[in-house]
């Protein structure tokens, strides 16, 4: 009786195995005809049999699931994620065609990621590069591109996750580049080693060489700090910036990132010191002088602010924000003059003082004119500046320029 039971069990197991193989063959046939939806339906019917499958059938099941969900690259992100999960299990089960499918998926996703990046669809490109990394986890460059794309698309949560993963992996991005000089053009061109050697051997290229690219470790640390700042995670940002500064003490961008953080948390003295430190390292950086001008103006140090704005304009005469802000600072002094004028009486002394203040106000207006005119040379359609200049010319009695600016204001719809 026991033997009959064992025989019956063996028949049941054999029947189940036959059923599994049949379903997998049907799914395989559907995939050959590009019927991905049909193949998924068939494979889902086999899912409950997984615990009883042998290792070979399990590997085949996951391989077919990967093919079905990937749908030759036409699937949505959710299905592609499922395809990637099943591909990993097919590799784990050592399915014979798993590496070929890996190559197919890699090429398809890489094309999609590059196209999205070129089209400035950075967030979507980041998602594709992330999928690429999960398809080929040995190639950490894809994870780096996922991070870069995400931060370009201001998807800071995803970018932070990728950068932290790169940091944990100790990723540097250092690679060896092979180059040679084109004899005809004299330009240095880069190749992989095999092609470089072939071109040099052909005589078309000379002076072969190789070099290591710069490490991206500092950039990664800096971007982690930058993202924490943007996510308002102050403590983590400070910690990340300290690490970044230790690794790159003379990196102006890192100093500016720390300066911006200090400014955000209200530590304006620290901000000013850091900006001044950055200026010493990069004395031609017009933005640094402009930022110091803004800070000085906010603190009420108008003369200091004007000096910084003037330096920014000296470095770049087309720097509109500096031109506008210095004019605004000059014109802000009008309020004190008008207040004093309104407080005067009708005595001879008061009348004399009134005339003095009126002349002082006119000179104030005149000193602002060059900066506002400089703005209009660059932005002729700036309505606000045109209107301000029109009123200034009216106040100082310059009829010709008043008419010119009035026509400009009217043309701009003001």
Task: Tell me the pLDDT of the chain averaged across its residues.
Answer: 88
Which position has the higher pLDDT, 108 or 40?
108
Domain extents for the chain? 16-138, 176-212, 333-414
Residue 45, pLDDT > 90, answer: no
Segment among 27-31, 118-122, 361-365, 398-402 with least mean pLDDT:
27-31
In the predicted model, is pLDDT for residue 40 greater than 90? no
Cβ pair 370, 385 in contact under 8 A: no
Predicted confidence at residue 237, as pLDDT, reads 86
Is the pLDDT at 17 greater than 90, yes or no? no
Asked whether residue 5 carries a pLDDT value surpassing 50, the answer given is no
Mean pLDDT on 144-162:
96
Binned at pLDDT 50, 70 and 90, residue 391 comes out as very high
d(CA 384, CA 319): 17
- In this structure, what is the dihedral angle of CA atoms 284, 285, 287, 293, given to the nearest 10 degrees? -50
Predicted local confidence at residue 20, as pLDDT: 64
The full DSSP string for 78-144 is HHHHHHHHHHHHHHHTT-TTHHHHHHHHHHHHHHHHHHHHHTT-HHHHHHHHHHHHHHSTT-THHHH
Tens-place pLDDT, residues 79-111: 999 999 999 999 999 999 999 999 999 999 999
Average pLDDT over residues 20-25: 76
pLDDT of residue 375: 92
What are the tens digits of pLDDT across the range 273-301? 888 888 899 899 898 889 888 878 887 88
Gap between the Cα atoms of 126 and 155, Å rounded? 9
Which of 28-32, 258-262, 337-341, 392-396 comes out lowest in average pLDDT? 258-262
What are the pLDDT digits (tens) for 224-268? 988 988 888 888 988 888 888 887 888 887 887 788 778 878 888
Task: Report H helices in 251-300.
Answer: 252-264, 268-281, 286-298
User: With 90 as the cut, is the pLDDT of residue 377 above it?
Assistant: yes
Q: How far apart are CA 237 and CA 102, in angstroms?
A: 38
Using 50, 70 and 90 to split pLDDT, how confident is the model at 319? very high
pTM score: 0.64
Lowest mean pLDDT among 42-51, 272-281, 353-362: 42-51
SS3 304: helix
Q: What is the pLDDT of residue 286?
A: 92
- pLDDT of residue 52 exceeding 80: no
Query: Is 16-138 a domain of CATH 1.25.40?
Result: yes
Determine the pLDDT at residue 131: 96
Average pLDDT over residues 350-365: 90
Structural contact between residues 313 and 324, judged by C-beta atoms closer than 8 angstroms: no
Least confident of 134-148, 203-217, 295-309: 295-309
161 exposed, middle or buried (CB, 10 Å; 0-12, 13-18, 19+)? middle
pLDDT tens for 120-145 read: 999 999 999 999 999 999 999 999 99
Give me 34's structure tokens. 């590009």
Of 107-116, 178-187, 248-257, the least confident: 248-257
- Rounded CA gap, 302 and 305, in Å? 5
15: pLDDT strictly greater than 50: no
Copy the structure tokens of residue 355.
């005339």
């Amino acid at each position: 009786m026991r033997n009959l039971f064992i025989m019956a069990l063996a028949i049941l197991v054999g029947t189940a195995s036959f059923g599994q193989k049949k379903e997998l063959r049907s799914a395989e046939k559907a995939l050959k005809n590009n019927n991905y939806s049909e193949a998924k339906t068939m494979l889902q019917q086999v899912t409950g049999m997984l615990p009883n499958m042998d290792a070979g059938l399990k590997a085949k099941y996951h391989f077919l699931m990967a093919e079905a969900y990937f749908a030759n690259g036409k699937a949505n992100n959710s299905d592609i994620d499922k395809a990637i999960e099943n591909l990993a299990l097919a590799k784990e089960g050592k399915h014979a065609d798993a590496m070929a499918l890996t190559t197919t998926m890699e090429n398809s996703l890489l094309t999609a990621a590059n196209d999205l990046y070129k089209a400035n669809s950075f967030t979507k490109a980041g998602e594709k590069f992330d999928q690429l990394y999960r398809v080929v986890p040995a190639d950490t460059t894809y994870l780096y591109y996922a991070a870069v794309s995400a931060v370009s698309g201001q998807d800071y949560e995803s970018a932070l996750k990728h950068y932290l993963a790169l940091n944990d992996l100790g990723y540097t991005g250092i690679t060896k580049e092979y180059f040679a000089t084109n004899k005809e053009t004299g330009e240095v061109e880069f190749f992989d080693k095999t092609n470089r050697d072939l071109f040099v051997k052909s005589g078309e290229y000379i002076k072969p060489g190789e070099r290591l690219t710069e490490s991206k470790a500092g950039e990664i640390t800096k971007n982690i700090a930058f993202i924490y700042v943007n996510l308002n995670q102050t403590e983590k940002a400070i910690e990340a910036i300290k690490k970044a500064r230790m690794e790159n003490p003379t990196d102006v961008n890192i100093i500016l990132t720390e300066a911006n953080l200090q400014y955000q948390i209200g530590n304006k003295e620290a901000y000013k010191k850091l900006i001044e430190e950055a200026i010493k390292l990069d004395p031609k950086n017009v933005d640094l002088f402009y930022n110091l001008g803004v800070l000085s103006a906010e603190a009420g140090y108008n003369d200091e602010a004007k000096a910084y704005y003037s330096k920014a304009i000296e470095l770049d005469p087309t720097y509109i924000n500096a031109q506008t802000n210095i004019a605004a600072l000059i014109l802000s002094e009008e309020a004190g003059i008008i207040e004093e004028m309104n407080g005067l009486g009708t005595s001879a002394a008061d009348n004399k003082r009134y005339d003095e203040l009126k002349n002082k106000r006119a000179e104030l207006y005149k000193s602002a004119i060059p900066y506002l005119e400089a703005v209009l040379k660059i932005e002729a359609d700036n309505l606000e500046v045109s209107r301000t200049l029109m009123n200034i010319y009216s106040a100082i009695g310059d009829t010709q320029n008043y008419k010119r600016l009035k026509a400009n204001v009217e043309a701009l719809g003001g």
